[in-house]
Amino acid sequence: MELKVKLKEVLNERGMSQVELAEKTGLTRTVISELATNRRTSINREHITKVLQALEIKDMNEMFEIK
């Protein structure tokens, strides 16, 4: 079983760039890029909380998919 972060898709839907999200969350562009491309081997809860708040996501299914 694999957890996929759908950040790239969400950013595209909202017309927001990874750089804009990094600025809005205070996270590095590297962290945002790794989340968007599913290259992170672990997900920091604080990082995800900042991303969800910045994107105003309330339904976790919008951001995550279990494969």
Q: Which domain holds residue 23?
A: 1-64
Report d(CA 55, CA 13) in Å as an integer: 11
3 state DSSP class of 9:
helix
Report d(CA 22, CA 19) in Å as an integer: 5
3 state DSSP class of 7:
helix
CATH number at residue 60: 1.10.260.40
Give me the pLDDT at residue 34, please.
96
What total number of domains does the chain contain?
Answer: 1
Please give the average pLDDT of every successive group of 10 residues along the chain, which has 67 residues: 92 97 98 94 91 95 91
CB atoms within 10 A of CB 28: 11
From the list 13, 5, 44, the residue with the least C-alpha distance to 26 is 44
